[in-house]
């Protein structure tokens, strides 16, 4: 029973990776990382704090993560692709 669940999870992960095509260009990734760095600096210098600070810090983490994998799920929903077209 346990090994069957692992096989199903692995198959699901493989199917999901096929759908995760890059949809972020390098400029988009750089801007996201810069915004994340600014948010982190503002948070750790106590310029922003409390609930707003935590929410923005989580958003900064999402920006960094999506930049690292070059994929933004929201871009997929809205049909946006900032990746350069292949020749």
Specify the pLDDT at position 5. 54
Specify the pLDDT at position 85. 78
* Alpha-helix runs per DSSP H in the chain: 2-19, 26-44, 50-69, 73-78
Of residues 19 and 80, more confidence is placed in 80
Written as six digits, the tokens of 50 are: 């409390």
Specify the pLDDT at position 14. 45
What is the band of 40 on the pLDDT scale with cuts at 50, 70, 90?
very high
CA distance 46 to 5: 45
Burial label for 36, CB within 10 Å (0-12, 13-18, 19+), is: buried
Whether the per-residue pLDDT at 7 is higher than 80: the answer is no
Of residues 13 and 37, more confidence is placed in 37
Of residues 86 and 46, more confidence is placed in 46
């Amino acid at each position: 029973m346990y090994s069957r669940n692992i096989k199903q999870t692995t198959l699901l992960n493989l199917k999901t990776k096929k759908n995760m095509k890059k949809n972020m260009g390098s400029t988009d990734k750089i801007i996201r990382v810069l915004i994340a760095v600014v948010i982190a600096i503002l948070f750790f210098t106590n310029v922003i704090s409390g609930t707003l600070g935590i929410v923005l810090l989580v958003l900064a983490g999402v920006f960094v993560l999506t930049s690292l994998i070059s994929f933004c799920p929201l871009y997929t929903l809205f049909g946006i692709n900032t990746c350069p077209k292949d020749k």
